[in-house]
Structure 1
Amino acid sequence: MSGLTPETPVPTGVVVHSRSRVLELQYADGASYRLPFELLRVYSPSAEVQGHGPGQDTLQTGKREVTITMIEGVGNYALQPTFSDGHATGIYSWDLLYDMAIHQDELWRNYLGRLQAAGVDRDTPMVPAGPAHGHCH
């Protein structure tokens, strides 16, 4: 994970819009970005989603309806949301959030492309990974 740089814009406001399922990031320069919960969830920086190395990430599906039930700040550098599906181990640093905000179209395209390649769609239920890891709960 890249660390925070002085250039990383830190949002002056973070708003969770439960009904429209977006996380709004507001910045001092007046810019604001709306990140869909689904996008945040499928690109969670947690080991559970990303795996422990390149190519080990788990394709997340069935997250269209996911909401953020709680969100906590981690120090002054990140947010840790709790999602309605119980996922709560993703720590989203400000630079990751900003990066996701400005590249979200690209991220969506990648995600939809991966779903297509896997022969599933966004609404396919996730198959529980089983007790292979044991430490992901």
Structure 2
Amino acid sequence: MSNKDYQIQIPVFELSRAIAFYKHVFSFRFRPQHPELDYAQRVEFEIPETNQQGILVQQEAGSVQENKSAFHFKTLEIEDVLRRVKDKNGRILKDKFIDPQTRNILAEFEDSEGNMISLHQIYPAK
């Protein structure tokens, strides 16, 4: 792993489950893992069509739930993301709604690891 500043660090219980979840829901691109290295309990990812990168970091059981993390992602189509969340047994916390002040479309869900994810879609101009 290179010495990069990661913009996102997502704590997870089970790395393989989290990789499958984020590949399916957001199409994250993951770099190959190197199990022989000390940091094998983490994996780098890139978010398509952005300059953002991050890592999934496996935590000990219980530590993620005690310190739930919240992450915010923009999306082009919030309904598609929520459908894929349900496909991977994520839990919808707030179905899509329109913020009356900004007219942005928002939603919230819990990922496969118990983290809260907020979604933001710019309201289409019509």
Q: TM-score, normalised on structure 2?
A: 0.30
Using CA pairs under 8 Å that are at least 6 residues apart, name the structure with larger relative contact order, 1 or 2.
2
Q: TM-score, normalised on structure 1?
A: 0.28
User: Could you say which structure has the higher helix fraction?
Assistant: 1
